[in-house]
Amino acid sequence: MKEPGAVGSSLELHLTDIAHGGAALGRHEGKVVFVPYAIPGEEVLVEIVEDKGRYAQGRLVEVLSHSPQRVQPLCPHFGSHACGGCHWQHIAYQTQLELKQRIVQDQLKRIGHFESVPVKPVLGSPEPWRYRNHVQFTLDEYGRLGFMGAESRQVVPIEECYIMHPLLDEIFAALDLELPELKRLSLRCGVNTGQKTVVFETYEDEPFELEVDLPVFCVFLLSDGRTATLIGQEYIIEILAGREYRISAPSFFQVNTPQAEELVRLVKSYLAPTGNEVLLDAYCGVGVFGLSLADEVGQVIGVEGSPSAVSDARFNAGPAGNVEFIEGKVEEVLPSLKASIDLAVLDPPRQGCASEALAALDRLAPTKIVYVSCDPAILARDTRRLVQAGYQLVEVQPVDMFPQTYHIESVALLRR
């Protein structure tokens, strides 16, 4: 018989909190046990599947006492042995928002060592389902489209997805693929324009024939990042906060369009330009934040490492004469930047800002920085570095870009 707490053993746990990563947690003989697909407050039967010394990973066997916030998941693919795209379909949406606020607070305190930073209630998505304007499928060994599994690196074939936008659902339902060389397939749409695109990636970069019966653009994405048009054009147009943006197949764009408009509103509100400032838009992507503020500042300098995104940003700027986009890694461009920067917005990828970028930002010394983050642990790390450089973390506003998942977008205001 296995000792309680050993790998393979089962034990009853009272769950007390939620962890960054989406699992609920409880304690057994002082050791933290993480339990996915559970909710704080529940009594559960758990099998220990991994022992890491200071903590353990558990598999939910049975819920002995249900939380009143537990709901029936909509998706048949949801769960520990299925698709890993969603983590919280079993939790009522309002509770998801409350848990996300708690996670941001905990990460700022535990990693950033902030004791009293105001973390505002999470701004919920107007549509907690059918919101994703971009999905990427991988193919299993039989050529079926799917997502990576929740607890494995195996592809789980899917028949429906409840967080995929209806415009993408139309394409997904009509797909009839016979491409043995296909590696990945992405669907993307402009929610406010109705434009749709399918992006194909193959193992050998070999061209292929294609027939379509829908009004959709088809793009071939090569392994070196270049694109080739198969049908239509290589980009879609989306309207965000009243402005048009071209988005090419390799370029980043937020997956939740209504909440992306909230991000724009928050960045404008926090920076509050008076008309003559120089604004740095670092990790600018296709130029959304900088261009949304171009009419309210003296100059915009955008920096972005993706060639396709920089090309899109320059196109999106149109005739604006006070906008400059620089292609290059932010940590390599900022140290040589000569401009006097008054305001800055940072929207780095999940891994956050390189230390060289933060050091250069300290030298440039903008009076306000707005940091847009998709990972509260990285937000806590980077804002602590900025505070050590002489900034005050004023407040953090989480925005739910990713309902039904544990992922959290946050907008933080720092003032020098």
| Cα–Cα distance for residue pair 220/237, rounded to 1 Å | 18
pLDDT in tens, 209-246: 888 888 999 999 999 889 999 999 999 999 999 999 99
Indicate the domain borders of the chain: 10-65, 102-126+254-415, 134-238
CA angle 134, 136, 140 (to 5 degrees): 155
pLDDT digits (tens, 9 = 90+) for 270-327: 999 999 999 999 999 999 999 999 999 999 999 999 999 999 999 999 999 999 999 9
CATH 3.40.50.150 correct for 102-126+254-415? yes
Strands 217-221 and 235-240: unpaired
Half-sphere CA count of 23, side-chain side, radius 13 A: 19
Q: Which range among 2-11, 119-128, 239-248 shows the weakest confidence by mean pLDDT? A: 2-11
In this predicted model, what pLDDT tens digit does every residue of 352-380 receive, in sequence order? Answer: 999 999 999 999 999 999 999 999 999 99
Task: Please determine, looking at this structure, whether the domain spanning 134-238 carries the CATH number 2.40.50.1070.
Answer: yes
Name which of 193, 136, 135 is nearest 164 in CA terms: 135
pTM: 0.95
The pLDDT score that the predictor gives to residue 1 is: 47
Average pLDDT for residues 328-335, to the nearest whole number? 98
To the query of whether residue 284 is one of the catalytic residues in this protein, the response is: no
- The topology (CATH level 3) of 10-65 is OB fold (Dihydrolipoamide Acetyltransferase, E2P) (2.40.50)
Question: 3-state DSSP call for residue 60?
Answer: strand
Catalytic residue among 83, 86, 353, 374: 374
- For the chain, the average pLDDT equals 95
Q: How confident is the model over 160-169, as a mean pLDDT? A: 96
> 143's torsion region: left (phi>0), alpha (psi -120 to 50) or beta?
left
pLDDT higher than threshold 70 for residue 2 = no
Q: Which of 346, 144, 127 lies closest to 255 in space, CA to CA?
A: 127
Q: Identical fold at 10-65 and 134-238?
A: yes
